[in-house]
Amino acid sequence: MHEPIDAAAVRAYLLDLQQRIVARFEALDGKPFARDAWQKPEGAALAGDGVTCILEDGALLERGGVGFSHVRGAQLPPSASAQRPQLAGRPFEALGVSLVFHPRNPYVPTVHMNVRFFVARDAQAGDIWWFGGGMDLTPFYPTEEDARHFHATCKRALDPFDATLYPRFKRWCDQYFFLKHRQEPRGIGGIFFDDFNELGFANSFALTRAVGDAFLPAYEPIVARHRDRPYGERERDFQAYRRGRYVEFNLVYDRGTLFGLQSGGRAESILMSLPPVVKWRYDWQPAPGTPEARLYTDFLPARDWV
């Protein structure tokens, strides 16, 4: 007897998680998120609904998005099933919450968090399903205290399920959020997992909830430490330059972005992760010994934080 799959329970949790995070950051920023509810009708190539919550030009967040989406399709596009031929031709649904916060103050790191569920159905052969997600931190002027706190919070979320999960998901994150064309990490990592079903549905869902619920404890203390630090044009310029790496990763490598765009998803919701102000500069390197150089020498190389 296969364990039942409860997509409705996953949906209810994700909507609640989105609302809790939005409410907390509305309180921290002082500006409300705009809420954009959208729907794609049944019969479309990709049907479903979602809510995109976006805050732009706030006191804390220069741009922040928290999106929920629940999409369904008769079959995956060939680009999405090429590496998984067992999924070809199956009806599917994918639902998740994804957020990216780009704070105004360069001393407050950019952060990403995502939790999601995918199921491809087949009454005869049985459903194929998995959870995925994680969170990662992308600082511009990092501190040891922040890095250790963020990683320790991720570890505490996973340890009750299996003490081997944090080091495994941490390595996965380091490998995933890596810009191969630059040969450098996007940030200081966190945790990342995908195609995860090894604990059965109930416990895999519980693990995913633990990750989602860990976001506010992982990130909010870092915001509180740095949001009021003074900064100038030098810091803003470096922030904009490093944000370029964020854009490059999301448009070239990010699985969620690529899946959404290739499957006909809603472009505005998919691309809400991009920062509002960004710069590129030809072959630029920070001067040795500067705070900017410390990001490259002391923090971007993968290391153990807990």
Q: Indicate the DSSP class of residue 48.
A: E
Task: With H, G, I as helix, E, B as strand and everything else as coil, classify residue 102.
Answer: strand
> Are the CB atoms for 131 and 197 separated by under 8 Å?
yes
CA distance 157 to 216: 12
> Are the CB atoms for 195 and 130 separated by under 8 Å?
yes
CA distance 44 to 93: 14
Q: Tokens 């505005």 appear where?
A: 268
Question: Following CA atoms 167, 87, 12, 112 in sequence, which dihedral angle do they give, to the nearest 10 degrees?
Answer: 40
Residue 112 annotated among the catalytic residues of the structure:
yes
CA distance 292 to 284: 12
User: 70, 112, 149, 151: which one is catalytic?
Assistant: 112
Positive or negative, the CA dihedral 73, 78, 80, 86 is positive
Q: Which helix (H) or strand (E) holds 39?
A: strand 34-40
Q: Give catalytic residue positions.
A: 112
